[in-house]
Structure 1
């Protein structure tokens, strides 16, 4: 759930002013939390934790990580989210448990039953599913590598059932290409550092990979594997310090990416500023955010390549908060039709392009940025699905992508996108759950917040059905007592993850929009295209 409203001195609970003050206090507390957690706040990852269990049993907290794997296994034997989203965390957990049983026989009785249930889930369901493997970063390297390791660990079984197959639609094409690159002695591209743990012994001897802020690819798993390739924990003190910090944040289990300070601060500040929930933040936060921008933009974390998505959100947040920076660095990602997240990206991201539209749109409709922004807006409209939603490669839920695209179009291309915005609102209204929530697998506060952004931040709050849907949604958010910090991950990394403060900011912003809209009453005629967005300050 969201945090209980704070008691604000001098305001009587129950007064209208009490709710306003509580909303302001909640937004301010979020900004303060950014400074309190300089590495960022991310829930643990089954995939990443299992890699550290397998590759770094010497790291403090090993017993806690092993216990985390055992307690997070689902009754069906898999780990992770429903469907084939369970594939990557399950192959990682199974390999780690088999490795533990082989290397530490005293733990065999504890871990073997869980490993057997995980193997059955892989063999009988996940590897033969008709559903495609989700577009998670590195999955086409991770799954083949870990299946090979599982088969090797099972080779001594009394009656092995044969090698595990690749899931349908997956090949070893990328694995073969990376092996050839490593064999050539050429440096490993930075975008592969994040998955260093599955690249094999040859990667450990190859040139080009280096520590940044003590980490390889901002990943505990990659860093643990890199240390192992160099002889163990004493090989590089900076890497050991990084891993110890990563373990300390979670008490044993680790996240996929840490630190995420640039990413977290940009998304939280942009989300709050977009709805007017904050207008000023500590100068040092803005200075550090601006300092993350270089000639090719900003990266989510040291060791990851710079990307258009992070760059665009940093630029937008700075512009909204009075520290505008010319968005020239973004133009390097322009393909001529849309923007890539990074050079050489395999897929296409609508949320990246929505953020680019906002970053460019802040500089006005004319001039060099205005022409590019109009082209991006047209591309986004064309990417809408027939049902009115958008989907994205960086998030499991269509509500995230739909909110990001719809709000950016409403803010910076309302006339061009009028029909698309109407379709998005109809889709959101049609998919609300009976309890007032929205969600892919079940109603969540996060996805409900995104749906409210579509309904209230696109100039369509007075359309038929919107007011009733908003009331039901707010009731759900008010009644929801599930801790947001323990919510299911929906964001794409090597595993699904949950960025705690970013999700909380989305919920705070949605509450802000709902409160600003007030008792919305439907009217017979729709507002004209380009009408001021309800709940957003002029000039948003």
Structure 2
């Protein structure tokens, strides 16, 4: 074993051993922090969170990652509304005005938007925030560009209002916009409301002055404190946008190891096997969820089915077929638009278990762009992530030409430095997505003359930019919720798995 492998394995071992701890580790959220400042400011005072919020504003006046323009309105609206309560601080009023000017410029983008472009819950959250801005007496933002969104949002609100009051349900993830009465049964076993810090803070505010709800409210406050710790900022009120998500973190991280072909590496066995045993216990007859207190979903369930099968545990595939909807799979029933990556992961699981996946592969092919890529997914904004999952789901199928076009689309987009990025400078996370796809196809018999050289160039760039046990200051955010976020342990394990796989590949070539 060479020195590079030693370091990569040491860091992987360290990270895997922490998977699921603190409920998961996630980047801080502008949106949820702003909502907490509005509804339930920290007892220690809100100014440190306000200062953090101001530091997140971009030069164009908006908040949120510029890589996805339509996903910036929600954090920007929330930040503007939150800062109104702190307008006496120098610079805050200017930040508010710049934010409103940004939103007015943004409005035109919504005139032609499609449902697939929305952030999670955007059809309800965005109209709700616009109404709050009007009620606050700030500059009015014309509604005409939002016409389609407003119509859809109203239908969705009416639909959600008819759903049962159950804990851990996706439809209550936007309770800070839709909720009124703080029913105690909405608070789940984590102490929060549908794994949303924003919704939980709103529930606590609504429950204030209600002695019969005080015990539940205290549980909810403890939940919010835990959600703060999960983003490791150390600033009261600065929170993640989802919490907890320990199973999601465990499953997706181990899935990266599986794609890389290093899941069962004996040197990682001591930290991987205990997690697998946890997941065996967590997988029930209805599947598995992002945490033990949320509704089961098809994406996590597919990853769990594949993982348990890999380790020789018996798996009843009916648990996965629960999420089938005709020719595709869904994360949750009643979704507006299905996710290609959810169907791709389900295909992958069924493939390794020897089941027919041809109808589901056709669903994926129908969602392919003309240039051979898959560019739209509801859970991850990187087309490299979506394309890599789709390509893996087509390996061994008759669709060799389509697979070749996907490979060539990835190869042609490799940057001159050897890495990849869908926007801005090359980054480790998206380079890992591309590398894992190309190397997986290569290991499973797919041949293309450009793959070998491409992987060599990528490995050189990754090694040059790898800093052992030190995450970069600029962390790309690819995951989609109410705003873009990063799941640091998952993304880091994608990166490390890709590098370990590439190093082992080079060692094999050298006959070492």
With the shorter chain as reference, the TM-score category is 0.7 to 0.9
Moved more, 249-258 or 395-404: 249-258
Please say if 1:93 is aligned against 2:75.
no
2:174 corresponds to which of 191, 195, 202? 195
Change (3 A) 1:478 1:168: farther
- Cα distance in 2 for partners of 1:131, 1:485 equals 35
Please say if 1:487 is aligned against 2:475.
yes
**Partner deviation per Cα, 1:331-365 (whole Å, 9 max, x = no partner):** 1111121112211111011110111112222322x
2:409 corresponds to which of 412, 420, 427? 427
1:29-178 matched pairs, under 5 angstroms: 29-34=14-19, 37-60=21-44, 62-82=46-66, 83-101=69-87, 106-107=88-89, 109-128=90-109, 132=113, 134-154=117-137, 160=139, 167=146, 169-175=148-154, 177-178=156-157
Q: Which runs of 5+ in 1 are unaligned?
A: 1-15, 365-369, 522-540
| Residue 261 of structure 1: aligned partner | 246
Contact 1:428 1:454 in 2 (8 A): no
| Residue 9 of structure 1: aligned partner | none
- Cα distance in 1 for partners of 2:132, 2:199 equals 16
Q: Which runs of 5+ in 2 are unaligned?
A: none
**Partner deviation per Cα, 1:44-63 (whole Å, 9 max, x = no partner):** 11111111111111355733
Query: How far apart are residue 179 of structure 1 and its match?
Result: 4.9
| Residue 340 of structure 2: aligned partner | 350
- Cα distance in 2 for partners of 1:476, 1:165 equals 47
| Residue 472 of structure 1: aligned partner | 457
| Residue 8 of structure 1: aligned partner | none
Contact 2:80 2:96 in 1 (8 A): yes
More RCO (CA 8 Å, sep 6+): 2
| Residue 502 of structure 1: aligned partner | 490
Change (3 A) 1:389 1:484: farther
- Cα distance in 1 for partners of 2:199, 2:495 equals 32
**Partner deviation per Cα, 1:263-294 (whole Å, 9 max, x = no partner):** 00001112113323231354432232122222
User: What TM-score comes out, normalization by structure 2 length?
Assistant: 0.87
1:98-497 matched pairs, under 5 angstroms: 98-101=84-87, 106-107=88-89, 109-128=90-109, 132=113, 134-154=117-137, 160=139, 167=146, 169-175=148-154, 177-179=156-158, 182=161, 187=165, 190-201=169-180, 204-205=181-182, 209-231=186-208, 234=214, 236-249=217-230, 250=232, 251-252=234-235, 253-279=238-264, 280-282=269-271, 283-364=273-354, 370-371=355-356, 373-391=357-375, 392-410=377-395, 414-442=396-424, 443-459=426-442, 463-480=448-465, 483-484=471-472, 486-497=474-485
Aligned CA-pair RMSD: 2.8
Moved more, 344-353 or 165-174: 165-174
- Cα distance in 2 for partners of 1:70, 1:378 equals 47
Contact 1:151 1:163 in 2 (8 A): no
Query: How far apart are residue 17 of structure 1 and its match?
Result: 2.4
Contact 2:107 2:145 in 1 (8 A): no
Contact 1:196 1:225 in 2 (8 A): yes
- Cα distance in 2 for partners of 1:180, 1:310 equals 25
Change (3 A) 1:30 1:273: farther
| Residue 26 of structure 1: aligned partner | 11
- Cα distance in 1 for partners of 2:191, 2:119 equals 25
**Partner deviation per Cα, 1:166-214 (whole Å, 9 max, x = no partner):** 53642243335525764x796379222111111143xx25686233310
Contact 2:257 2:263 in 1 (8 A): yes
User: What TM-score comes out, normalization by structure 1 length?
Assistant: 0.83
Change (3 A) 1:60 1:471: farther
Aligned length: 485
Secondary structure of the structure 1 residue equivalent to 2:394: helix
Contact 2:247 2:292 in 1 (8 A): no
Query: How far apart are residue 417 of structure 1 and its match?
Result: 3.0
Moved more, 192-201 or 316-325: 316-325
Query: How far apart are residue 131 of structure 1 and its match?
Result: 6.5
Query: How far apart are residue 136 of structure 1 and its match?
Result: 1.4
